[in-house]
Amino acid sequence: MLGPLEVRAGDQPVDVGGRLPRRLLAILIAAEGRPVSEDSLVEGLWGDRRPRNPAGALQVYVSRLRRVLPGTALQRSAGGYRLLAADTDAERFRGHLARARALVAGDRRAEAHEAFDAALRLWRGTPYEDLADDESTTAIRAALVEQRDSAQEESAAALLATGDHAGAVAVLELLVHAAPYRERRWQLLALALYRSGRQADALNAVRRVRTLLAEELGVGPGPELRQLEGRILAQDPALAATGFAAATPADRPLSSFIGRDADLALLDRLVATHRLVTVVGPAGAGKTRLAVEWAGRDAVVRLADVADPAPLVSAVAAAIGVTGFAGDPHEALVERLRLHGGPVVLDNCEHLAGEVARLVVDLLDRIPALRVVATSRSPLGVDGEHILPLGPLAADDAVTLLTDRIRAGRPGWFGHDADRRDLRRLADALDRLPLALELAAARVRTFGVRGLIEHLDDRFTVLGRIPHGTMTPHATLQEAVAWSFDLLSGDERDLAVRLWPYEGGFPVEAAASAAGLGALVSLVDQSVVTAEPAGSTARYRMLETIRRTAGPWTEIGRRPGPPTPSGSASWSPGPRAICRACGPRPRWRRCVWSCRTCARGSRTT
Protein backbone atom coordinates (compact mmCIF):
# COMPACT_ATOMS: atom_id res chain seq x y z
CA MET A 1 0.00 0.00 0.00
CA LEU A 2 3.02 2.32 0.29
CA GLY A 3 2.80 3.16 -3.40
CA PRO A 4 0.69 1.68 -6.22
CA LEU A 5 -1.25 -1.32 -4.95
CA GLU A 6 0.62 -4.61 -5.36
CA VAL A 7 -0.59 -8.02 -4.20
CA ARG A 8 1.81 -10.93 -3.77
CA ALA A 9 1.57 -14.52 -2.63
CA GLY A 10 5.10 -15.14 -1.43
CA ASP A 11 7.29 -13.87 -4.28
CA GLN A 12 4.60 -14.28 -6.93
CA PRO A 13 2.43 -11.34 -8.03
CA VAL A 14 -1.34 -11.79 -7.85
CA ASP A 15 -3.62 -10.16 -10.44
CA VAL A 16 -6.72 -8.92 -8.62
CA GLY A 17 -8.28 -7.45 -11.76
CA GLY A 18 -8.79 -3.96 -13.11
CA ARG A 19 -9.19 -0.58 -11.53
CA LEU A 20 -12.38 -1.25 -9.56
CA PRO A 21 -11.28 -4.52 -7.88
CA ARG A 22 -7.99 -2.86 -6.96
CA ARG A 23 -9.85 0.13 -5.57
CA LEU A 24 -12.21 -2.10 -3.58
CA LEU A 25 -9.29 -3.97 -2.06
CA ALA A 26 -7.51 -0.72 -1.18
CA ILE A 27 -10.61 0.66 0.57
CA LEU A 28 -10.98 -2.52 2.65
CA ILE A 29 -7.29 -2.54 3.61
CA ALA A 30 -7.40 1.16 4.56
CA ALA A 31 -10.16 0.36 7.07
CA GLU A 32 -7.60 -1.79 8.99
CA GLY A 33 -10.03 -4.56 9.86
CA ARG A 34 -13.05 -2.35 10.57
CA PRO A 35 -16.32 -3.01 8.71
CA VAL A 36 -17.03 -0.74 5.73
CA SER A 37 -20.70 -0.24 4.92
CA GLU A 38 -22.04 -1.11 1.48
CA ASP A 39 -23.01 2.51 0.89
CA SER A 40 -19.43 3.65 1.61
CA LEU A 41 -18.01 1.00 -0.72
CA VAL A 42 -20.41 1.97 -3.50
CA GLU A 43 -19.53 5.64 -3.03
CA GLY A 44 -15.81 4.84 -3.04
CA LEU A 45 -16.05 2.69 -6.20
CA TRP A 46 -18.39 4.67 -8.41
CA GLY A 47 -19.09 8.03 -6.78
CA ASP A 48 -21.95 9.72 -8.68
CA ARG A 49 -21.67 7.34 -11.66
CA ARG A 50 -23.27 4.31 -10.08
CA PRO A 51 -24.39 1.26 -12.06
CA ARG A 52 -28.06 0.37 -12.30
CA ASN A 53 -27.71 -2.27 -9.56
CA PRO A 54 -24.77 -1.12 -7.34
CA ALA A 55 -25.41 -3.71 -4.61
CA GLY A 56 -25.29 -6.55 -7.11
CA ALA A 57 -22.20 -5.17 -8.84
CA LEU A 58 -20.47 -4.82 -5.47
CA GLN A 59 -21.19 -8.47 -4.65
CA VAL A 60 -19.64 -9.53 -7.97
CA TYR A 61 -16.39 -7.71 -7.18
CA VAL A 62 -16.36 -9.13 -3.62
CA SER A 63 -16.73 -12.66 -5.02
CA ARG A 64 -13.84 -12.09 -7.42
CA LEU A 65 -11.61 -10.89 -4.58
CA ARG A 66 -12.45 -13.97 -2.54
CA ARG A 67 -11.41 -16.20 -5.44
CA VAL A 68 -8.06 -14.50 -6.08
CA LEU A 69 -7.24 -14.05 -2.37
CA PRO A 70 -8.03 -17.47 -0.88
CA GLY A 71 -5.86 -16.96 2.21
CA THR A 72 -7.55 -13.69 3.15
CA ALA A 73 -10.73 -13.51 5.23
CA LEU A 74 -13.18 -11.17 3.51
CA GLN A 75 -16.21 -11.20 5.79
CA ARG A 76 -19.65 -9.71 5.62
CA SER A 77 -21.25 -8.49 8.85
CA ALA A 78 -24.11 -6.26 9.93
CA GLY A 79 -21.81 -3.25 9.52
CA GLY A 80 -20.73 -4.14 5.97
CA TYR A 81 -17.62 -5.88 4.61
CA ARG A 82 -14.29 -6.17 6.35
CA LEU A 83 -10.93 -7.65 5.42
CA LEU A 84 -8.97 -9.65 7.96
CA ALA A 85 -5.51 -11.26 7.93
CA ALA A 86 -4.09 -8.87 5.33
CA ASP A 87 -0.30 -8.61 5.68
CA THR A 88 0.47 -5.13 4.37
CA ASP A 89 3.67 -3.18 3.94
CA ALA A 90 2.09 -0.38 5.99
CA GLU A 91 1.82 -2.71 8.99
CA ARG A 92 5.35 -4.01 8.45
CA PHE A 93 6.55 -0.40 8.24
CA ARG A 94 5.00 0.36 11.64
CA GLY A 95 6.49 -2.82 13.07
CA HIS A 96 10.00 -1.85 11.91
CA LEU A 97 9.48 1.60 13.45
CA ALA A 98 8.46 0.14 16.81
CA ARG A 99 11.52 -2.13 16.81
CA ALA A 100 13.83 0.73 15.79
CA ARG A 101 12.53 2.99 18.54
CA ALA A 102 12.93 0.23 21.10
CA LEU A 103 16.55 -0.14 19.95
CA VAL A 104 16.97 3.62 20.36
CA ALA A 105 15.71 3.32 23.94
CA GLY A 106 18.25 0.53 24.50
CA ASP A 107 21.10 2.65 23.08
CA ARG A 108 21.77 0.13 20.28
CA ARG A 109 22.67 2.68 17.65
CA ALA A 110 23.77 0.74 14.58
CA GLU A 111 20.89 -1.75 14.89
CA ALA A 112 18.40 1.11 15.24
CA HIS A 113 19.70 2.72 12.04
CA GLU A 114 19.32 -0.60 10.18
CA ALA A 115 15.76 -1.02 11.47
CA PHE A 116 14.79 2.50 10.36
CA ASP A 117 16.30 1.79 6.94
CA ALA A 118 14.34 -1.47 6.69
CA ALA A 119 11.15 0.49 7.38
CA LEU A 120 11.93 3.17 4.79
CA ARG A 121 12.86 0.67 2.07
CA LEU A 122 9.24 -0.49 2.01
CA TRP A 123 8.14 2.82 0.47
CA ARG A 124 7.57 2.89 -3.31
CA GLY A 125 5.63 6.13 -3.73
CA THR A 126 2.50 7.80 -2.37
CA PRO A 127 0.61 5.58 0.12
CA TYR A 128 -2.77 4.30 -1.10
CA GLU A 129 -2.03 5.75 -4.53
CA ASP A 130 -5.10 4.01 -6.00
CA LEU A 131 -7.28 6.09 -3.64
CA ALA A 132 -5.62 9.45 -4.32
CA ASP A 133 -8.98 11.05 -5.15
CA ASP A 134 -10.77 9.56 -2.10
CA GLU A 135 -11.21 12.15 0.67
CA SER A 136 -11.99 9.46 3.23
CA THR A 137 -8.37 8.26 3.10
CA THR A 138 -6.74 11.70 3.23
CA ALA A 139 -6.00 11.47 6.94
CA ILE A 140 -4.64 7.91 6.59
CA ARG A 141 -2.26 8.93 3.82
CA ALA A 142 -1.17 12.05 5.70
CA ALA A 143 -0.48 10.02 8.86
CA LEU A 144 1.67 7.51 6.97
CA VAL A 145 3.61 10.28 5.24
CA GLU A 146 4.24 11.95 8.61
CA GLN A 147 5.49 8.65 10.05
CA ARG A 148 7.81 8.25 7.06
CA ASP A 149 9.17 11.78 7.40
CA SER A 150 9.76 11.30 11.12
CA ALA A 151 11.42 7.94 10.45
CA GLN A 152 13.79 9.59 7.98
CA GLU A 153 14.84 12.06 10.66
CA GLU A 154 15.20 9.36 13.32
CA SER A 155 17.26 7.24 10.93
CA ALA A 156 19.59 10.18 10.30
CA ALA A 157 19.85 10.78 14.06
CA ALA A 158 20.75 7.11 14.59
CA LEU A 159 23.39 7.29 11.84
CA LEU A 160 24.81 10.41 13.46
CA ALA A 161 24.89 8.59 16.80
CA THR A 162 27.03 5.81 15.31
CA GLY A 163 29.77 8.37 14.63
CA ASP A 164 29.34 8.49 10.83
CA HIS A 165 29.12 12.29 10.80
CA ALA A 166 30.00 12.73 7.12
CA GLY A 167 27.41 10.13 6.07
CA ALA A 168 24.80 11.88 8.21
CA VAL A 169 25.61 15.24 6.56
CA ALA A 170 25.05 13.73 3.10
CA VAL A 171 21.71 12.22 4.10
CA LEU A 172 20.50 15.34 5.89
CA GLU A 173 21.34 17.70 3.02
CA LEU A 174 18.91 15.68 0.90
CA LEU A 175 16.30 15.68 3.66
CA VAL A 176 16.33 19.46 4.23
CA HIS A 177 16.03 19.97 0.48
CA ALA A 178 13.00 17.63 0.33
CA ALA A 179 11.20 19.24 3.30
CA PRO A 180 12.82 22.59 4.16
CA TYR A 181 10.25 23.59 6.79
CA ARG A 182 10.91 20.59 9.06
CA GLU A 183 13.20 22.16 11.65
CA ARG A 184 14.49 18.97 13.18
CA ARG A 185 16.25 18.16 9.92
CA TRP A 186 18.14 21.45 10.06
CA GLN A 187 18.92 20.86 13.72
CA LEU A 188 20.42 17.44 12.94
CA LEU A 189 22.30 18.83 9.92
CA ALA A 190 23.88 21.60 11.99
CA LEU A 191 24.91 19.08 14.64
CA ALA A 192 26.36 16.69 12.02
CA LEU A 193 28.36 19.55 10.46
CA TYR A 194 29.65 20.64 13.86
CA ARG A 195 30.75 17.10 14.71
CA SER A 196 32.48 16.90 11.32
CA GLY A 197 34.68 19.84 12.34
CA ARG A 198 32.72 22.34 10.22
CA GLN A 199 31.63 24.91 12.79
CA ALA A 200 31.13 27.71 10.26
CA ASP A 201 28.96 25.49 8.07
CA ALA A 202 26.96 24.43 11.12
CA LEU A 203 26.19 28.07 11.97
CA ASN A 204 25.39 28.75 8.33
CA ALA A 205 22.85 25.91 8.32
CA VAL A 206 21.01 27.43 11.28
CA ARG A 207 21.01 30.85 9.63
CA ARG A 208 19.82 29.41 6.32
CA VAL A 209 16.69 28.04 7.95
CA ARG A 210 16.21 31.22 10.00
CA THR A 211 16.19 33.26 6.76
CA LEU A 212 13.92 30.76 5.01
CA LEU A 213 11.31 30.81 7.78
CA ALA A 214 11.40 34.60 8.11
CA GLU A 215 11.15 35.38 4.38
CA GLU A 216 8.60 32.74 3.37
CA LEU A 217 6.50 32.30 6.52
CA GLY A 218 7.20 35.32 8.70
CA VAL A 219 8.17 33.22 11.75
CA GLY A 220 11.39 32.55 13.62
CA PRO A 221 13.03 29.20 14.37
CA GLY A 222 11.84 27.12 17.31
CA PRO A 223 13.51 26.96 20.74
CA GLU A 224 15.59 23.86 19.89
CA LEU A 225 17.28 25.53 16.93
CA ARG A 226 17.83 28.77 18.84
CA GLN A 227 19.38 26.87 21.73
CA LEU A 228 21.61 24.86 19.39
CA GLU A 229 22.83 28.03 17.68
CA GLY A 230 23.88 29.48 21.02
CA ARG A 231 25.71 26.31 21.99
CA ILE A 232 27.57 26.22 18.67
CA LEU A 233 28.67 29.83 19.19
CA ALA A 234 29.80 28.96 22.72
CA GLN A 235 31.59 25.83 21.42
CA ASP A 236 29.86 23.72 24.06
CA PRO A 237 32.06 20.61 24.57
CA ALA A 238 28.95 18.47 25.09
CA LEU A 239 28.00 18.97 21.43
CA ALA A 240 30.83 16.69 20.40
CA ALA A 241 29.32 13.78 22.34
CA THR A 242 27.63 11.06 20.34
CA GLY A 243 23.89 10.75 20.99
CA PHE A 244 20.70 9.86 19.22
CA ALA A 245 19.08 13.28 19.05
CA ALA A 246 20.23 16.81 18.55
CA ALA A 247 18.59 17.48 21.89
CA THR A 248 21.09 18.99 24.29
CA PRO A 249 22.06 17.58 27.69
CA ALA A 250 20.05 20.44 29.20
CA ASP A 251 17.07 19.08 27.28
CA ARG A 252 17.10 15.96 29.47
CA PRO A 253 16.76 15.61 33.25
CA LEU A 254 19.96 15.31 35.27
CA SER A 255 19.03 12.02 36.96
CA SER A 256 18.95 8.59 35.31
CA PHE A 257 15.72 7.17 33.91
CA ILE A 258 14.86 3.88 35.62
CA GLY A 259 11.95 1.47 35.38
CA ARG A 260 9.94 2.92 32.51
CA ASP A 261 11.71 1.57 29.40
CA ALA A 262 8.75 -0.64 28.50
CA ASP A 263 6.36 2.30 28.91
CA LEU A 264 8.65 4.47 26.77
CA ALA A 265 8.66 1.87 23.97
CA LEU A 266 4.87 1.47 24.26
CA LEU A 267 4.40 5.23 24.01
CA ASP A 268 6.48 5.16 20.82
CA ARG A 269 4.29 2.43 19.34
CA LEU A 270 1.05 4.15 20.30
CA VAL A 271 2.09 7.50 18.82
CA ALA A 272 3.15 5.72 15.63
CA THR A 273 -0.36 4.36 15.09
CA HIS A 274 -2.69 6.79 16.87
CA ARG A 275 -3.09 10.55 16.70
CA LEU A 276 -3.90 11.23 20.36
CA VAL A 277 -2.25 9.38 23.25
CA THR A 278 -2.86 10.40 26.88
CA VAL A 279 -0.53 9.19 29.62
CA VAL A 280 -2.72 8.81 32.72
CA GLY A 281 -1.74 8.05 36.30
CA PRO A 282 -1.75 9.23 39.92
CA ALA A 283 0.43 11.96 41.37
CA GLY A 284 4.09 11.01 41.52
CA ALA A 285 3.86 8.19 38.95
CA GLY A 286 6.28 9.92 36.56
CA LYS A 287 3.98 11.01 33.71
CA THR A 288 5.88 14.22 33.03
CA ARG A 289 9.26 12.47 33.26
CA LEU A 290 8.13 9.89 30.70
CA ALA A 291 7.01 12.65 28.32
CA VAL A 292 10.30 14.50 28.75
CA GLU A 293 12.34 11.34 28.12
CA TRP A 294 10.30 10.72 24.98
CA ALA A 295 10.23 14.24 23.54
CA GLY A 296 12.86 16.31 25.37
CA ARG A 297 12.28 18.97 28.03
CA ASP A 298 11.94 21.88 25.60
CA ALA A 299 9.36 20.02 23.49
CA VAL A 300 6.94 19.61 26.40
CA VAL A 301 4.27 22.30 26.88
CA ARG A 302 3.89 22.69 30.65
CA LEU A 303 0.29 23.61 31.56
CA ALA A 304 0.55 23.32 35.35
CA ASP A 305 1.03 27.09 35.67
CA VAL A 306 -1.85 27.97 33.32
CA ALA A 307 -4.59 28.50 35.88
CA ASP A 308 -7.10 30.27 33.61
CA PRO A 309 -8.41 28.62 30.42
CA ALA A 310 -8.36 31.97 28.60
CA PRO A 311 -4.58 32.07 27.85
CA LEU A 312 -4.38 28.35 27.00
CA VAL A 313 -3.91 28.85 23.25
CA SER A 314 -1.36 31.62 23.77
CA ALA A 315 0.57 29.48 26.27
CA VAL A 316 0.73 26.53 23.85
CA ALA A 317 1.69 28.82 20.96
CA ALA A 318 4.49 30.46 22.94
CA ALA A 319 5.83 27.09 24.11
CA ILE A 320 6.24 25.76 20.57
CA GLY A 321 7.95 28.90 19.31
CA VAL A 322 5.15 31.09 17.88
CA THR A 323 6.41 34.62 18.49
CA GLY A 324 5.63 38.05 17.16
CA PHE A 325 2.37 37.01 15.49
CA ALA A 326 -0.32 39.53 14.58
CA GLY A 327 -3.95 38.55 14.75
CA ASP A 328 -5.60 35.44 16.14
CA PRO A 329 -3.15 33.33 18.22
CA HIS A 330 -5.19 30.23 17.41
CA GLU A 331 -4.63 30.63 13.67
CA ALA A 332 -0.93 31.35 14.25
CA LEU A 333 -0.72 28.14 16.30
CA VAL A 334 -2.42 26.10 13.57
CA GLU A 335 -0.07 27.49 10.92
CA ARG A 336 2.98 26.78 13.05
CA LEU A 337 1.91 23.18 13.73
CA ARG A 338 1.28 22.55 10.04
CA LEU A 339 4.93 23.43 9.41
CA HIS A 340 6.42 22.10 12.64
CA GLY A 341 6.30 18.44 11.62
CA GLY A 342 6.60 16.95 15.12
CA PRO A 343 4.08 15.93 17.78
CA VAL A 344 2.71 18.30 20.41
CA VAL A 345 3.23 17.21 24.02
CA LEU A 346 0.82 18.80 26.51
CA ASP A 347 1.73 18.20 30.16
CA ASN A 348 -0.46 18.41 33.30
CA CYS A 349 -3.80 18.78 31.55
CA GLU A 350 -6.08 17.60 34.37
CA HIS A 351 -7.18 21.03 35.64
CA LEU A 352 -7.96 22.21 32.08
CA ALA A 353 -9.21 18.90 30.68
CA GLY A 354 -12.30 20.32 28.98
CA GLU A 355 -10.50 23.26 27.37
CA VAL A 356 -7.54 21.12 26.31
CA ALA A 357 -9.92 18.54 24.82
CA ARG A 358 -11.66 21.18 22.69
CA LEU A 359 -8.32 22.60 21.53
CA VAL A 360 -6.97 19.13 20.66
CA VAL A 361 -10.11 18.19 18.69
CA ASP A 362 -9.84 21.37 16.63
CA LEU A 363 -6.11 20.93 15.97
CA LEU A 364 -6.47 17.27 14.97
CA ASP A 365 -9.36 18.11 12.63
CA ARG A 366 -7.46 20.90 10.90
CA ILE A 367 -4.00 19.28 10.77
CA PRO A 368 -4.31 15.67 9.49
CA ALA A 369 -0.63 14.86 10.11
CA LEU A 370 -0.60 16.11 13.71
CA ARG A 371 0.11 13.83 16.67
CA VAL A 372 -0.71 14.89 20.26
CA VAL A 373 0.66 13.37 23.46
CA ALA A 374 -0.94 14.53 26.71
CA THR A 375 -0.22 13.78 30.36
CA SER A 376 -3.05 14.04 32.83
CA ARG A 377 -4.50 12.44 35.93
CA SER A 378 -7.67 11.81 33.92
CA PRO A 379 -8.37 11.12 30.23
CA LEU A 380 -9.32 14.07 28.02
CA GLY A 381 -12.47 12.28 26.86
CA VAL A 382 -11.81 12.84 23.13
CA ASP A 383 -13.05 10.43 20.46
CA GLY A 384 -10.14 8.31 19.23
CA GLU A 385 -8.05 8.95 22.36
CA HIS A 386 -5.74 6.09 23.37
CA ILE A 387 -4.80 5.77 27.03
CA LEU A 388 -1.40 4.76 28.38
CA PRO A 389 -1.95 4.07 32.11
CA LEU A 390 1.09 4.68 34.28
CA GLY A 391 0.93 3.05 37.69
CA PRO A 392 3.47 2.14 40.37
CA LEU A 393 6.83 0.73 39.31
CA ALA A 394 7.48 -2.99 39.27
CA ALA A 395 8.99 -4.19 42.57
CA ASP A 396 12.50 -4.80 41.21
CA ASP A 397 12.52 -1.49 39.34
CA ALA A 398 11.43 0.35 42.48
CA VAL A 399 14.33 -1.17 44.45
CA THR A 400 16.74 -0.31 41.61
CA LEU A 401 15.52 3.30 41.62
CA LEU A 402 15.91 3.55 45.40
CA THR A 403 19.42 2.10 45.22
CA ASP A 404 20.49 4.48 42.47
CA ARG A 405 19.17 7.56 44.27
CA ILE A 406 20.61 6.51 47.66
CA ARG A 407 24.06 6.14 46.08
CA ALA A 408 23.68 9.64 44.62
CA GLY A 409 23.60 10.98 48.19
CA ARG A 410 25.88 8.36 49.75
CA PRO A 411 28.48 7.29 47.15
CA GLY A 412 29.96 4.62 49.42
CA TRP A 413 26.62 3.00 50.23
CA PHE A 414 26.27 -0.63 49.23
CA GLY A 415 23.01 -2.57 49.52
CA HIS A 416 23.42 -5.97 51.17
CA ASP A 417 20.76 -8.69 51.02
CA ALA A 418 19.20 -7.55 54.28
CA ASP A 419 19.16 -3.97 53.02
CA ARG A 420 17.52 -5.12 49.80
CA ARG A 421 14.69 -6.71 51.77
CA ASP A 422 14.27 -3.47 53.69
CA LEU A 423 14.36 -1.53 50.42
CA ARG A 424 11.53 -3.72 49.11
CA ARG A 425 9.52 -2.98 52.28
CA LEU A 426 10.22 0.74 51.93
CA ALA A 427 9.24 0.74 48.25
CA ASP A 428 5.98 -1.11 48.95
CA ALA A 429 5.14 1.25 51.82
CA LEU A 430 5.52 4.17 49.40
CA ASP A 431 3.33 2.49 46.74
CA ARG A 432 6.40 2.23 44.47
CA LEU A 433 5.67 5.75 43.20
CA PRO A 434 8.84 7.24 41.64
CA LEU A 435 8.45 10.67 43.24
CA ALA A 436 7.97 9.20 46.73
CA LEU A 437 10.93 6.85 46.21
CA GLU A 438 13.22 9.69 45.19
CA LEU A 439 12.26 11.75 48.25
CA ALA A 440 12.73 8.71 50.51
CA ALA A 441 16.20 8.02 49.09
CA ALA A 442 17.28 11.52 50.11
CA ARG A 443 16.16 10.82 53.70
CA VAL A 444 18.05 7.52 54.04
CA ARG A 445 21.16 9.54 54.85
CA THR A 446 19.33 10.89 57.93
CA PHE A 447 17.27 7.95 59.15
CA GLY A 448 18.70 4.83 57.47
CA VAL A 449 16.41 2.48 55.56
CA ARG A 450 14.78 0.78 58.57
CA GLY A 451 14.51 4.00 60.52
CA LEU A 452 12.76 5.64 57.59
CA ILE A 453 10.26 2.79 57.39
CA GLU A 454 9.43 3.29 61.08
CA HIS A 455 8.76 7.01 60.52
CA LEU A 456 6.48 6.65 57.48
CA ASP A 457 3.34 7.12 59.58
CA ASP A 458 4.15 10.80 59.19
CA ARG A 459 5.46 10.39 55.66
CA PHE A 460 4.68 13.84 54.33
CA THR A 461 6.71 15.53 57.07
CA VAL A 462 9.57 13.03 56.87
CA LEU A 463 9.88 13.08 53.07
CA GLY A 464 10.12 16.87 53.03
CA ARG A 465 10.24 19.19 50.04
CA ILE A 466 10.77 18.21 46.41
CA PRO A 467 14.23 19.27 45.12
CA HIS A 468 14.57 22.04 42.55
CA GLY A 469 14.90 20.95 38.94
CA THR A 470 12.53 17.97 39.16
CA MET A 471 9.64 17.56 36.76
CA THR A 472 6.76 18.14 39.20
CA PRO A 473 5.39 21.68 39.62
CA HIS A 474 4.57 21.05 43.30
CA ALA A 475 6.73 21.81 46.33
CA THR A 476 5.93 18.65 48.32
CA LEU A 477 4.52 15.20 47.75
CA GLN A 478 1.52 16.14 49.86
CA GLU A 479 0.75 19.11 47.60
CA ALA A 480 1.14 16.93 44.52
CA VAL A 481 -1.42 14.44 45.83
CA ALA A 482 -3.72 17.15 47.17
CA TRP A 483 -3.85 18.67 43.67
CA SER A 484 -6.00 15.69 42.69
CA PHE A 485 -8.44 16.35 45.52
CA ASP A 486 -8.73 20.03 44.66
CA LEU A 487 -10.11 19.00 41.27
CA LEU A 488 -12.85 16.76 42.71
CA SER A 489 -16.47 17.79 43.07
CA GLY A 490 -18.13 17.79 46.48
CA ASP A 491 -19.72 14.37 45.94
CA GLU A 492 -16.42 12.92 44.73
CA ARG A 493 -14.51 14.27 47.75
CA ASP A 494 -17.24 12.98 50.02
CA LEU A 495 -16.91 9.49 48.55
CA ALA A 496 -13.11 9.60 48.71
CA VAL A 497 -13.20 10.38 52.43
CA ARG A 498 -15.84 7.74 53.07
CA LEU A 499 -13.71 5.14 51.30
CA TRP A 500 -10.59 6.18 53.21
CA PRO A 501 -10.97 3.60 56.05
CA TYR A 502 -10.74 0.69 53.56
CA GLU A 503 -6.99 0.20 53.91
CA GLY A 504 -6.83 -3.12 52.06
CA GLY A 505 -9.17 -2.16 49.24
CA PHE A 506 -12.91 -2.47 48.84
CA PRO A 507 -15.53 -4.04 46.55
CA VAL A 508 -17.83 -2.03 44.31
CA GLU A 509 -20.66 -2.45 46.83
CA ALA A 510 -18.84 -0.21 49.32
CA ALA A 511 -18.93 2.70 46.91
CA ALA A 512 -22.47 1.96 45.74
CA SER A 513 -23.74 2.15 49.30
CA ALA A 514 -21.83 5.36 50.00
CA ALA A 515 -22.40 7.76 47.11
CA GLY A 516 -23.22 5.85 43.97
CA LEU A 517 -21.30 4.35 41.10
CA GLY A 518 -20.99 7.61 39.17
CA ALA A 519 -18.68 9.12 41.77
CA LEU A 520 -16.62 5.92 41.88
CA VAL A 521 -16.18 5.95 38.10
CA SER A 522 -15.00 9.56 38.34
CA LEU A 523 -12.50 8.73 41.09
CA VAL A 524 -11.05 5.92 38.97
CA ASP A 525 -10.87 8.19 35.91
CA GLN A 526 -9.05 10.83 37.95
CA SER A 527 -6.51 8.33 39.32
CA VAL A 528 -7.63 8.77 42.94
CA VAL A 529 -8.92 5.18 43.13
CA THR A 530 -7.26 2.25 41.36
CA ALA A 531 -9.32 -0.57 39.82
CA GLU A 532 -7.59 -3.94 40.11
CA PRO A 533 -8.88 -7.10 38.37
CA ALA A 534 -10.04 -9.77 40.79
CA GLY A 535 -11.39 -12.70 38.80
CA SER A 536 -14.54 -11.80 36.91
CA THR A 537 -15.00 -8.57 38.92
CA ALA A 538 -12.80 -5.68 39.97
CA ARG A 539 -11.61 -4.64 43.39
CA TYR A 540 -10.78 -1.06 44.20
CA ARG A 541 -8.25 0.61 46.46
CA MET A 542 -6.50 3.86 47.16
CA LEU A 543 -2.73 3.93 47.15
CA GLU A 544 -1.56 4.46 50.73
CA THR A 545 -0.06 7.85 49.84
CA ILE A 546 -3.44 8.97 48.51
CA ARG A 547 -5.24 7.55 51.56
CA ARG A 548 -3.04 9.67 53.79
CA THR A 549 -4.25 12.74 51.93
CA ALA A 550 -7.89 11.64 51.73
CA GLY A 551 -8.15 11.09 55.49
CA PRO A 552 -10.18 13.73 57.36
CA TRP A 553 -7.23 14.44 59.63
CA THR A 554 -4.96 15.92 56.96
CA GLU A 555 -5.05 19.69 56.70
CA ILE A 556 -4.26 19.64 52.99
CA GLY A 557 -7.11 17.21 52.36
CA ARG A 558 -9.68 19.87 53.32
CA ARG A 559 -8.73 22.28 50.53
CA PRO A 560 -10.42 24.22 48.99
CA GLY A 561 -13.02 23.58 51.69
CA PRO A 562 -14.10 20.64 53.85
CA PRO A 563 -16.53 18.29 52.10
CA THR A 564 -20.02 17.84 53.45
CA PRO A 565 -21.11 14.26 54.20
CA SER A 566 -24.66 13.13 53.56
CA GLY A 567 -27.04 13.93 56.37
CA SER A 568 -25.04 16.74 57.97
CA ALA A 569 -24.94 20.45 57.35
CA SER A 570 -21.17 20.79 57.59
CA TRP A 571 -18.03 19.33 59.00
CA SER A 572 -16.63 21.33 61.89
CA PRO A 573 -14.13 20.70 64.68
CA GLY A 574 -15.97 18.89 67.45
CA PRO A 575 -15.17 18.10 71.09
CA ARG A 576 -11.95 16.34 71.96
CA ALA A 577 -11.75 12.59 71.58
CA ILE A 578 -9.40 10.01 72.98
CA CYS A 579 -7.11 8.03 70.70
CA ARG A 580 -6.84 4.51 72.06
CA ALA A 581 -3.07 4.58 71.54
CA CYS A 582 -1.75 8.04 72.31
CA GLY A 583 -4.38 10.07 74.09
CA PRO A 584 -6.49 13.17 73.35
CA ARG A 585 -6.65 14.44 69.78
CA PRO A 586 -9.11 16.81 68.05
CA ARG A 587 -11.43 15.20 65.54
CA TRP A 588 -14.10 15.79 62.90
CA ARG A 589 -17.68 15.35 64.08
CA ARG A 590 -19.60 12.33 62.67
CA CYS A 591 -16.59 10.93 60.88
CA VAL A 592 -14.46 7.82 60.93
CA TRP A 593 -11.05 9.22 61.81
CA SER A 594 -7.39 8.28 62.20
CA CYS A 595 -4.87 9.68 64.65
CA ARG A 596 -2.06 11.49 62.78
CA THR A 597 0.44 10.52 65.49
CA CYS A 598 -0.03 6.77 65.73
CA ALA A 599 -2.08 6.24 62.51
CA ARG A 600 -4.50 3.94 64.34
CA GLY A 601 -8.19 4.26 63.64
CA SER A 602 -11.11 4.86 65.96
CA ARG A 603 -14.76 5.83 65.63
CA THR A 604 -16.06 8.83 67.52
CA THR A 605 -18.80 8.46 70.08
- Tens digits of residue pLDDT in 54-81: 888 888 888 888 888 766 677 787 778 8
Q: Please say if the pLDDT value at position 584 is more than 70.
A: no
Q: Give, for 403, the enclosing helix (H) or strand (E).
A: helix 395-409
DSSP summary character for residue 235: T
**pLDDT for residue 326:** 65
Looking only at Cα atoms, what is the longest distance across the chain?
90
**pLDDT for residue 247:** 42
As a whole number of angstroms, the distance between CA 408 and CA 596 comes to 32
**240 or 552, which is more confident?**
240
**pLDDT for residue 380:** 94
Q: Please say if the pLDDT value at position 262 is more than 90.
A: no
As a whole number of angstroms, the distance between CA 147 and CA 138 comes to 14
List, in order of start, the domains of the chain with CATH numbers: 8-87 (1.10.10.10), 90-251 (1.25.40.10), 275-389 (3.40.50.300), 395-463 (no CATH), 488-603 (1.10.10)
Q: Please say if the pLDDT value at position 218 is more than 90.
A: no
Which residues face 172 on adjacent strands? none
User: Which pTM value belongs to this model?
Assistant: 0.57
Q: Please say if the pLDDT value at position 202 is more than 80.
A: yes
End-to-end CA, the chain: 73
200-239 as b/e, with b when 16 or more CB fall inside 10 Å? eebbebbeebbeebeeeeebebbbbbebbbebbeeebeeb
